[in-house]
Amino acid sequence: MARLVRTLPEAEAVLGVTSLAGEIYLVKWKHREQVEVYDVITYRLLHCITVSDIRGVSDMTSCEYHGCVYIGDHDVDCVHRLDVQGVATRWAVNDEPAGLSVNAAHNVVVTCPRVHKIKEFSSRGVLLRELALCDDDVMTPWHAIQTSSGQFIVCHGEFGHPVHRVCMMSADGRHIVHSHGGQRGSNTGQYDVPVHLAVDDNEFVFVVDMNNRRVTLLSPTLEYVSQVVSRDQLKWRPGRLYLHQQKRLLYVAENEWMNDRSCVGDMFAGRVVVFSV
Domains present along the chain, CATH in parentheses? 3-276 (2.120.10.30)
Mean pLDDT within 3-17: 92
- Geometric angle at alpha carbon 77, from 75 and 78, rounded to 5°: 115
CA–CA dist 10, 267 (Å, integer)? 13
End-to-end CA distance of the chain: 8
pLDDT at 166 over 70: yes
Instruction: Return the minimum-mean-pLDDT range out of 45-54, 234-243, 268-277.
Output: 45-54
Mean pLDDT within 121-128: 98
pLDDT at 57: 92
Mean pLDDT within 40-66: 91
Global pTM reads 0.94
